[in-house]
Chain A
Amino acid sequence: MADTRRPLSPHLQIYSWQVQMVTSILHRATGIALAVGTLLIVWGLLALAGGEASFGQFKTCIGSPLGLVLLFGWSWALFYHLCNGIRHLVQDTGAGYAIPQFVRSSWLSVIVSVLLTVAVWAYVLSAGGAA
């Protein structure tokens, strides 16, 4: 049995906040949210296969205020995880590890994800809303 009284690393509140830390935490958080959100896709497909009545029920649920809030949250989570995921794939090649580059790409992930989310929902609104 390993000695479990090993020294622990300091907890989150010990560190001062910086964007690289936020992007890392958000990548995990959005990953977990997207894993849960995948169940919405499963539900939608089962409803579509189940017939017109069940699909109508599904549309009513995701068109409700709570449904739209979840959809909005998941759309940002998807775009954030996508942008930051591409950032990580680039970093996996060994590129972009100088601290200024690391900070810049962190901000780029956050900003581009917000822009993509705004663009998608602007399109939805211009097409007459989601519901």
Chain B
Amino acid sequence: MSAKDLRNPLKRALGLGSAQAGVGHWWTQRVTAAGLVLLGLWFVITVLGLLHADYATAKATVAKPWNAVLLIAFLVTAFWHAVLGLQVVVEDYVHTRWKEVSLLVAIKFLAVLGALASVLAVLRIALGA
């Protein structure tokens, strides 16, 4: 550390910057992106394998343990990544504060509902309820 650095060592150690969030948003967006490269390709290949599949086959495919696990991982990661991405778009283009905050909250609510609903659907199929 330079002798001229007037910042408290704790501030440097936490690395959270003036917005108190540090690089958390940026880093999470990259980590979910890396996950989605793999999960997205797996999802496309799985869906292509279900071409012309009847109801029972489609259900049995989703119910396979590994498919169910990867599908839930894909859904959660995709919604998480989408929230982070849409947040940046809203912050960039919506300049009225109350509209910006309302949109950000609405996006989070919708994404959580979408994730919960789709995960519950996968669980129902996988557990045979």
Residues of B near any A CB (own CB < 8 A): 30, 33-34, 36-37, 40-41, 44, 48, 51-52, 55, 58-59, 62, 71, 75, 78-79, 82, 85-86, 89, 114, 117-118, 120-122, 124-125
Contacts and interface: CB of A to CB of B under 8 A. Distances in A.
Interface in A115-130: 120, 123-124, 127-128, 130
B86 A130 contact: no
B32 to A, nearest CB: 10
Interface of A: 28, 31-32, 34-35, 38-39, 41-42, 45-46, 48-49, 52, 55-56, 75, 78, 82, 85-86, 88-89, 92, 120, 123-124, 127-128, 130
Contact of A41 (B51, B58, B75): B75
Given A39-B114, A49-B124, A34 B82 contact: yes
Contacts of B125: 45, 48-49
Contacts of A88: 33
**Chain B binding surface SS class:** helix
B55 A41 contact: no
B55 A35 contact: no
22 contacts: A31-B85, A31-B89, A32-B85, A38-B114, A41-B75, A41-B78, A42-B114, A46-B117, A46-B118, A48-B55, A48-B121, A49-B120, A49-B122, A52-B55, A82-B36, A82-B41, A89-B37, A92-B30, A120-B44, A123-B48, A124-B51, A127-B52
